[in-house]
Structure 1
Amino acid sequence: MADAGVGRPRGMSSIKEVLGSWGDIRQLLRGGQSGSIVPVVIPKDNRGLRWLTLVWIALWLFATGAISATTDADWLMVPAVLGAVLALALAALWWWRSSIVEIEEGTVGVLTKFGAIAGPGLMPGRHYLWHPWARVAYVVDVTTEIPYNAPVLACPTHENVPLKSIEFFLKFRILDAVQFVQTIGAGNFDLVLSNSVQDAIRQRSRMVRTERAYDLRGSDVADMQELLNRQLARYGVQILGCNIPDVQLPTQYRQHISTRERVAKELSAYEKEWELTRKRRIDTLLMDIERSKKVRDAKVIEVNASLNKARKDVAQMLEEQETEAQRVKYEIETRGRTNLVAAQGEARAQEQLATAYRDNRAVLGYELARRRLDVGAQLANSAPQPVIVQTDGGSGDSSALSTLMLAQLLPQLGQSNGKRAQRAIAQHDDALESLADKAARALDDQK
């Protein structure tokens, strides 16, 4: 079988089917061969018809025994029959042992009779192929998700700029082993799959501009997967997933892109540096603002404390002033009520004084009139009384001596009567003064 890797791009996977013994099937399906993917193994069939040799020997021994029975060498009949039976037993054992085949788990055996595929395939497990010309022609892996890498070279972009390569990776699984082997086979499937992948990638690259070529990496390729599934469904194969891991631009264009990327990185670094500087300045301003806010809050708290204290002092002062005003009010009201009561009392006293004054005035008038009468009586008593000197002319006592003596006695009598009158007047004045004092004291008491 020709090497499937000849003429392929470097790194591209290859799929092939190989011939191997039953003991190597597992290793070939799981590990491949020479870096190639092996989803199909053609097992070496050691059955053949070699067991028929023993059958022919048994028939010859039966014939020998029959012939020896008709001749004098009849002693050969028993050994010949025993040898024939033994040969038939060995042939049957050989036939039974060669008819056993064991299909690995996760694989399907494709059965052929007379070289044509027969049946839907053998499931994993032990099977007996009693038909002499029944063979397991292929063992196909139907459970493993087979990875396939297909780099496509010189893919032109929308501007017809050939890209250096586009890496394409996919995973597929064989769903129908009989359909796969019968319609295409592993070697032909490798060519079909690589051509389908290249066509799909070239169509995708034609839709992309060169400067946007790197956008193909990791892009959504669900449409390509759907397209490949439609193309490969008739071979019994399903694409499970695919993606574009890498895109390589031409060297000159890559240098241009690298320059642009370097400039973009420098611009990004400058923007990051400027962003850090701006952020640092913003943080510094925010810290200053926070510090100013704290100072402002402290001052506000201090002002509020002073304001509360001033309000408290004002409230206390207002309370004291209100208390003082209430006290003054009560004092004024008390004083007013006292003055009112005093005025009312004084008015009543004045009224009583007036009444008493009227009464006292009549009494004083009466008393003064009585005093006057008494004084008049005293004055009348004290008034000079005429002294009648009766001289008896007949006695002849009319001498000059008696006249002189009488003249001296009369002034003395007048003086004594004047003194008594003055004393009476003084007593009258004293009585008036005492009455006036009593009236004044009475008025004061009434006030």
Structure 2
Amino acid sequence: MEQAVRAVRGQGMSSIKEVVSGWGDVARYLRGGDSGSLVPVVIPKDKRGMRWTSLIWFGVWALFSGVFLAATDHGALGGLAIFVAIISFLLSALWWWRSSIVEIEEGTVGVLTKFGAITGPGLSPGRHYLWHPWARVAYVVDVTTEIPYTAPVLSSPTHENVPLKSIEFFLRFRIVDAIRFVQTIGAGNFDLVLSNSVQDAIRQRSRQVRTEQAYDLRGSDVKDMQELLNRQLTRYGVQIMGCNIPDVQLPDQYREHLATRERVAKELVAYEKEWELTRKRRIDTLLLEIERSKKVRDAKVVEVQASLNKARKDVAQMLEERETEAQKIRYEIETRARTNLVAAQGEAKAQEQLATAYRDNRAVLGYELARRRLDVGATLAEDAPRPVIVHTDAGAGDSSALSTLLMAQLLPQLQSGGDSAPRRGARQVTQSANAVGQAAQRAAEAVQERSQG
């Protein structure tokens, strides 16, 4: 596998490595790489060391010398030596402060070590002070840039075991955990691991594709390959942000065969286009005929519609005339009926008035009949026979049989002559009263019959 990787280095495969440089070149290597290689990790040179302690030892020697000279009555020299010692201490402190300053570039993380062991979560971008003499920034790792990586794969077999000439694979990765990356693998080893993982993933994909469909790998969905690479590289603190297959090259012999197939396919496409044009021309002709027939049909439909509208108009006019005539007849019938109704109402009112008059006349006749009855009764009472009282005076002594016989003969004559006139008057009154009652009853029956009719 390593020999295959070395063989394709000249074919355009990317390489990853780490370099050692001073603090001034860290940004240049991280952004621009080194000799065409990608540099995600830089090991900065630490020139601080322990040289600043020489000034401290010199200051200690000058301090002891000044104290000794001051004790031996050489005060001027002793004071000068003490002054030199103070200056030496100040210069060493300044040297220590200046050498402890570390500036981490934006988008990078500094991996801090003490006594050679990695400590802390890493230094964030900005200025930091390393006061500990044995604290070092061992690595500066780029954790924000998505690093592009190109990996062409040679002789990748397809499903029919036909080796493809090459498959170019492109991906972008980013270091998400700088400490894990430098602890577990490092840039140089990661280059080898990434290339091997990409080779295996591409060969697995090409094994699933038939040779005639190899060109379909261009721009195909490779999310499964991305997930596979992420599962393999996550333990190194690396994440694959995206990948694709920009180019696939077939073997020369198969390419010629494919070119022949493409030529035949193009001829077939040209024939299909020609046939499509012919078919379209025929369809256009048929459509024109159909349009012409539609226009003729529309003209006939317009004529029929005009005739239908005219017929509807005539029918509507006739119906209107019929309706006017029917309305006129209805008005005449209503007028005649209203006239008959008024006449019937007038006749009924007249009959009602007549019945009222008959009823009033009947009451008058009843009154007249009652009055006449009273008159008749009075007349009968006046003409009633009166008893004949024959007074016989017992003292006269006229009680002879002759006088009694004469009286008995005269009484029947008086009674018959007196009763004949009253009986005739009563009979006439009775007949006239009966006639009046019968006439009133007939009038009432006639009024009742008219009111019921």
Q: Same fold (TM over 0.5)?
A: yes
> Structure 1 CA distance, aligned partners of 2:131 and 2:315?
121
Residue 250 of structure 1 is matched in structure 2 by: 251
Unaligned runs of 5+ in 1: 324-447
Q: Answer whether contact 1:113 1:135 (CA < 8 A) is retained.
A: yes
Structure 1 residues 87 and 23: CA distance shift in structure 2, 3 A: same
> Structure 2 CA distance, aligned partners of 1:101 and 1:295?
95
Residue 413 of structure 2 is matched in structure 1 by: none
> How far apart are residue 24 of structure 1 and its match?
2.5
> Structure 1 CA distance, aligned partners of 2:119 and 2:204?
41
Instruction: Show the 5 A alignment for 1:14-33.
Output: 14-33=15-34
Asked if residue 130 in structure 1 is aligned to residue 126 in structure 2, the reply is no
Residue 8 of structure 1 is matched in structure 2 by: 9
Residue 191 of structure 1 is matched in structure 2 by: 192
> Structure 1 CA distance, aligned partners of 2:66 and 2:313?
144
> Structure 2 CA distance, aligned partners of 1:5 and 1:83?
62
Residue identity opposite 1:293 in structure 2: K
> Structure 2 CA distance, aligned partners of 1:6 and 1:131?
47
Instruction: Show the 5 A alignment for 1:278-293.
Output: 278-293=279-294
> Structure 2 CA distance, aligned partners of 1:221 and 1:210?
18
Residue 36 of structure 2 is matched in structure 1 by: 35
Q: Look up the SS of the partner of 1:151 in the other structure.
A: strand
> How far apart are residue 112 of structure 1 and its match?
1.1
> Structure 2 CA distance, aligned partners of 1:106 and 1:163?
40
> Structure 2 CA distance, aligned partners of 1:276 and 1:30?
58
Residue 51 of structure 1 is matched in structure 2 by: 52
Structure having the higher Rg: 1
Q: Answer whether contact 1:9 1:152 (CA < 8 A) is retained.
A: no
Judge which range, 87-96 or 299-308, deviates more. Answer: 299-308
Structure 1 residues 7 and 283: CA distance shift in structure 2, 3 A: closer
Asked if residue 205 in structure 1 is aligned to residue 206 in structure 2, the reply is yes
Tell me the matched-pair count: 321
Asked if residue 149 in structure 1 is aligned to residue 150 in structure 2, the reply is yes
Structure 1 residues 142 and 315: CA distance shift in structure 2, 3 A: closer
> How far apart are residue 87 of structure 1 and its match?
1.2
Residue identity opposite 1:97 in structure 2: R
Q: Look up the SS of the partner of 2:225 in the other structure.
A: helix
Structure 1 residues 19 and 306: CA distance shift in structure 2, 3 A: same
> Structure 2 CA distance, aligned partners of 1:20 and 1:291?
87
Q: In the TM superposition, what whole-angstrom CA distance separates every residue of 1:240-287 from its partner, at most 9, and x where no partner exists?
A: 222212111011111111221222123223323432442343234223
Q: Look up the SS of the partner of 1:150 in the other structure.
A: strand
> How far apart are residue 310 of structure 1 and its match?
6.4
Q: Answer whether contact 2:8 2:152 (CA < 8 A) is retained.
A: no
Residue 168 of structure 2 is matched in structure 1 by: 167
> How far apart are residue 21 of structure 1 and its match?
2.5
Residue identity opposite 1:63 in structure 2: F
Residue 261 of structure 1 is matched in structure 2 by: 262
Q: Answer whether contact 1:106 1:142 (CA < 8 A) is retained.
A: yes
Residue identity opposite 2:178 in structure 1: A
Residue 236 of structure 2 is matched in structure 1 by: 235
Structure 1 residues 319 and 97: CA distance shift in structure 2, 3 A: closer
Residue 140 of structure 2 is matched in structure 1 by: 139
Q: Look up the SS of the partner of 1:123 in the other structure.
A: coil
> How far apart are residue 86 of structure 1 and its match?
0.8
Q: Answer whether contact 1:9 1:153 (CA < 8 A) is retained.
A: no
Residue 388 of structure 1 is matched in structure 2 by: none
Structure 1 residues 297 and 136: CA distance shift in structure 2, 3 A: same
Residue 217 of structure 1 is matched in structure 2 by: 218
> Structure 2 CA distance, aligned partners of 1:105 and 1:318?
98
Residue identity opposite 2:12 in structure 1: G
Residue 103 of structure 1 is matched in structure 2 by: 104
Structure 1 residues 9 and 157: CA distance shift in structure 2, 3 A: farther
> How far apart are residue 154 of structure 1 and its match?
0.8
> How far apart are residue 5 of structure 1 and its match?
7.3
Residue 337 of structure 1 is matched in structure 2 by: none
Q: Answer whether contact 1:147 1:169 (CA < 8 A) is retained.
A: yes
> Structure 1 CA distance, aligned partners of 2:84 and 2:120?
39
Judge which range, 119-128 or 273-282, deviates more. Answer: 273-282
> How far apart are residue 234 of structure 1 and its match?
1.5
Q: Answer whether contact 1:173 1:237 (CA < 8 A) is retained.
A: yes
Structure 1 residues 224 and 307: CA distance shift in structure 2, 3 A: closer
> How far apart are residue 118 of structure 1 and its match?
1.7
Structure 1 residues 110 and 317: CA distance shift in structure 2, 3 A: closer
Residue identity opposite 1:198 in structure 2: Q
> Structure 2 CA distance, aligned partners of 1:16 and 1:218?
29
Residue identity opposite 2:136 in structure 1: R
Asked if residue 76 in structure 1 is aligned to residue 93 in structure 2, the reply is no
Q: Answer whether contact 2:70 2:79 (CA < 8 A) is retained.
A: no
> Structure 1 CA distance, aligned partners of 2:248 and 2:7?
24
> Structure 2 CA distance, aligned partners of 1:71 and 1:320?
158
> Structure 1 CA distance, aligned partners of 2:223 and 2:296?
63
Unaligned runs of 5+ in 2: 325-453
> How far apart are residue 307 of structure 1 and its match?
5.1
Q: Answer whether contact 1:5 1:14 (CA < 8 A) is retained.
A: no
Instruction: Show the 5 A alignment for 1:300-311.
Output: 300-306=301-307, 308-309=309-310
Instruction: Show the 5 A alignment for 1:292-371.
Output: 292-306=293-307, 308-309=309-310
> How far apart are residue 146 of structure 1 and its match?
1.5
> Structure 2 CA distance, aligned partners of 1:200 and 1:13?
17
> Structure 1 CA distance, aligned partners of 2:87 and 2:100?
20
Q: Answer whether contact 2:108 2:140 (CA < 8 A) is retained.
A: yes
Q: Answer whether contact 2:66 2:82 (CA < 8 A) is retained.
A: yes
Structure 1 residues 101 and 6: CA distance shift in structure 2, 3 A: farther
> How far apart are residue 291 of structure 1 and its match?
2.9
TM-score scaled by structure 1?
A: 0.66
Q: Answer whether contact 1:9 1:151 (CA < 8 A) is retained.
A: no
Judge which range, 104-113 or 271-280, deviates more. Answer: 271-280
Residue identity opposite 1:13 in structure 2: S
Structure 1 residues 80 and 243: CA distance shift in structure 2, 3 A: same
> Structure 2 CA distance, aligned partners of 1:72 and 1:316?
154
Residue identity opposite 1:158 in structure 2: H
Q: CA RMSD in A?
A: 2.8
What fraction of aligned residue pairs are identical, expressed as a percent? 78
Structure 1 residues 158 and 316: CA distance shift in structure 2, 3 A: closer
Residue 120 of structure 1 is matched in structure 2 by: 121
